Amino acid sequence: MISPCIRRDYGFDSAVEANGWRVPTSSWRPRGGPAIQYRAYQLSGQGQIVAGAWLDAATDAEAETLARELCRPSVPTVELWLEQRRVAVLRCAPPPRATPTRRRRAGGR
């Protein structure tokens, strides 16, 4: 499951720390074991965060699969994090370029 991140500049993290709230690191999945909440960040070509999403997955591999869905033509890189551990850096493939077709000359040559 992919859901948008709460942006840090809204003061969410400081509110959590100030009030002593605990942010859950896992939740129950109906069809399996507990899910882990990963964070995926879409990075620009300059390495700046463009957008982020929370990902619920049971394993690192499952989280990587979900993070690949965040690849866009305008987003060359997606970073996947679990708490303070960077799980993966996914290089998104650039969109395929159209190959110019050669025109035949009149006369069949």
Q: How far is CA 79 from CA 45, 64, 66, 72, 102, in A?
A: 13, 9, 12, 13, 40
pTM: 0.57
Pick from 26, 83, 86: nearest CA to 58: 26
Reduced DSSP (H G I as helix, E B as strand, rest coil) percent helix, strand, coil of the chain, to 5: 20, 35, 45
Domain boundary assignment for the chain: 2-91
User: From CA 98, how far away is CA 62, in angstroms rounded?
Assistant: 32
37 close to 56: Cβ distance less than 8 angstroms: yes
Residuewise pLDDT in 10s, the chain (109 residues): 555 554 444 344 444 444 444 444 444 444 556 789 999 999 998 989 999 999 999 999 999 999 999 998 888 999 999 999 999 999 987 766 666 667 767 766 5
